[in-house]
Structure 1
Amino acid sequence: MIEILASPAFNTIQDLGRHGARRFGVSTSGAMDPVALAAGNALLGNDDGAAGIEIQTFPFRLRFAAGTAFALTGADQESTLAGSTVRPWWCAWANAGDILTIAAPRRGARVYATFGGGIDVPRVLGSRSTHLRGGFGGLEGRTLQAGDVVPIGSVPRSTNGRFDFGVAPPDVAIAGVAPADARVLRIRVMRAGEYDLFSEAMQAKFWSTQWKISARSDRGGYRLTGGKLTLDAPVEMRSHGVVAGVVQVPPAGEPIIQMSDANTAGGYPKMAAVIQADLWRLGQAAPGSLIAFSEVSYENAVAAMAPVNDYLAKLRATADLYRAL
């Protein structure tokens, strides 16, 4: 068990998402940075999809009720365990009574705390992820609050096990990924269904603009400011299915990127879609960040996942070796 001592707002239990329920109008939810969550689980020997805590408001504090292995991944942050520093992208062992404090990140937006055995809350529609609008999943379908007691899986510490090592984050380890502190985050997209409804001038504006993530953004979607994309004439559209990464353009002209808690359907024109390999990078972009779009082909979008999958596979293999020492 762990006890939450401080959790300002919007911190939730998430796994890799609730897949297969969109046809019922249930959004996928899941970690905004699935690579960070999977990496934290790999450090501990959990399944990739074990549930952890997605922390996006700080400071966050918890107390361990028993000896437990844990890992911190995602945003670059400063943390302490029983007064000693815990590095980002690191796993460690906490003793009963130890307090973990996670401060606001230096870079990035979300920290992932994973625990040996994973968070052991009930699955709802195949997932432990919190669905805030539906009020289910996670811990009673809500954000975490001070005083909450969260159950975790029981994994006894091996006398030969090792829980004091870390890995390079993906923005360092994966070749070709822009540094996390780059002034403008370059995001790869493919054209979407209604791209050709926009004039050449609007298309050019979409590619050339440095878009700013608005403070009105959340897990449901990132609202972008910096320009307006308008149609020459109004278009009526039937509602259609949408998924995380779709860039829609509402009548006001400022694009919205659908994120983890996005609606399952919408009727706004779709300008583009963020490729899967870049969704984790977008999930670490805080409000106020600047992003720009680069077009890639379908073939390149598929190929872009190979380095991400290789990174996670090598991380797991290395972690397994370290724990066996």
Structure 2
Amino acid sequence: MIEVLSNAALATIQDQGRQGYLRYGVGTSGAMDRVALAVGNLMLGNPDDAAGIEIPLFPFRVRFTEDTAFALTGADCPARLGERPVLPWWTLQAKKDDVLTIGVPASGARCYLLLKGGVDVPVVLGSRSTQLRGEFGGFLGRQLKKGDVVQAAAVEPAHGEKAGSSAGFGVMPPSWTLGRLETSPVSDSTDTVVRVLPAAEYEAYEQDSIEAFWRKSWKVTPQSDRYGYRLGGPVLNSKRPVEMRSHGIVPGVIQVPPSGQPIIQLRDAQPSGGYPKIGTVIEADLWRLAQARIGTNLRFVQTSYAEAVDALDELDRYMTKLRSLVGLHRGDRP
């Protein structure tokens, strides 16, 4: 279906993640920006659990070996299908031998390339996602490289679907619809702002460290990847040494190692750890976190459990509305 023409590192096949295996020591994996992946699948009429290609380094080039529809979501990348510009959050019909080139994003960190039908790789432990540390799932358990040929699952047109309806339209990205979050003091326009719930060891930190956690910017350091964002900023000091047994953690948990510089656990993180936890990025904002680039700043906004639930409901409403609008455009409603 597509042949990879570039050696851009760390491009992997991901779906919505590997659920239900944390207790066995298997991390969730899956797309860092699950909203971008979900929207791309929605635009193409794919199943919700269809896999796509997550691209974190650019440029990235592929050649289509068959006619097919595709979508680009996630980071705001300049892209061209042959000589034809392709907008972000857009779907088009590619012809055999067309070359798609995805350039360095103007904003955001990760682009998602979705194919009609979804990427066809074996399901391993309930998911098609690549687990790089364990070397399983995805495309032979590794990142894609030049010469790899990636297939898409065969699909039948949905009932009532119009010919060609899967190409030539776009949607409004969540960053426009769900809006930008603000902090106090007001954050810089380039900062990524996410809402955070205080975690179990929050009260173990000195008051000036807690105030710095909320008021200061945190730089995403070059030591960051899909396992976690290592942050640079004020040193967070505990009131006394905190010794903990290893315990379960999930993506979004903000741990503080002895250096006092936080680490945010992400999709490829191990399912357990022993560092104290000062906060947790709420589920509804993990897509925002996923698009923070190396070298840029994060800011944290304190929130409550009720507000976190409301934010998830707002995200669900965005997806429901989008599903309805895409269905009207595609004409695939019964």
- Matches of 2:282 and 2:12, distance apart in 1: 25
Letter in 1 for 2:238: L
How do 1:1-325 residues align onto structure 2 when only pairs under 5 Å count? 1-155=1-155, 159=163, 161-175=165-179, 177=181, 182-324=189-331
Offset at residue 271 of structure 1 (A): 0.1
Letter in 2 for 1:280: W
RMSD (CA atoms): 1.6
Q: Which stretches in structure 2 are left out of the alignment for 5+ residues? A: 183-187
Contact 1:247 1:256 in 2 (8 A): yes
Offset at residue 314 of structure 1 (A): 1.6
Offset at residue 219 of structure 1 (A): 0.4
Letter in 2 for 1:159: A
More displaced stretch, 138-147 vs 194-203: 194-203
CA change 1:75–1:255 in 2 (3 A) is: same
Contact 2:69 2:166 in 1 (8 A): no
Contact 1:7 1:59 in 2 (8 A): no
Letter in 2 for 1:115: L
- Matches of 2:314 and 2:239, distance apart in 1: 41
More displaced stretch, 119-128 vs 198-207: 198-207
Offset at residue 208 of structure 1 (A): 1.5
- Matches of 2:331 and 2:210, distance apart in 1: 54
More displaced stretch, 183-192 vs 24-33: 183-192
Letter in 1 for 2:53: I
Letter in 2 for 1:148: D
Letter in 2 for 1:278: D
Partner deviation per Cα, 1:94-118 (whole Å, 9 max, x = no partner): 0111111100100000000101100
- Matches of 1:175 and 1:287, distance apart in 2: 22
More displaced stretch, 164-173 vs 312-321: 312-321
More displaced stretch, 280-289 vs 2-11: 2-11
Offset at residue 269 of structure 1 (A): 0.4
Offset at residue 159 of structure 1 (A): 3.0
Partner deviation per Cα, 1:181-222 (whole Å, 9 max, x = no partner): 922222100010011111212211211211111111000000
Letter in 1 for 2:30: G
CA change 1:144–1:160 in 2 (3 A) is: closer
Contact 2:181 2:193 in 1 (8 A): no
Offset at residue 162 of structure 1 (A): 4.4
- Matches of 2:245 and 2:275, distance apart in 1: 9
| TM-score calculated relative to the size of structure 2 | 0.94
Aligned length: 324
Offset at residue 310 of structure 1 (A): 1.3
User: Aligned to 2:5, what secondary structure does the other structure show?
Assistant: strand
Partner deviation per Cα, 1:248-301 (whole Å, 9 max, x = no partner): 000011000001111100000000000011100000000111111111110100
Instruction: Give the aligned partner of residue 185 of structure 2.
Output: none
Contact 2:44 2:166 in 1 (8 A): no
| TM-score calculated relative to the size of structure 1 | 0.96
CA change 1:222–1:317 in 2 (3 A) is: same
User: Aligned to 1:101, what secondary structure does the other structure show?
Assistant: strand
Offset at residue 160 of structure 1 (A): 5.7
More displaced stretch, 281-290 vs 305-314: 305-314
Offset at residue 44 of structure 1 (A): 0.4
Contact 1:74 1:112 in 2 (8 A): yes
- Matches of 2:166 and 2:46, distance apart in 1: 14
Offset at residue 175 of structure 1 (A): 4.3
Identity of aligned residues (%): 52
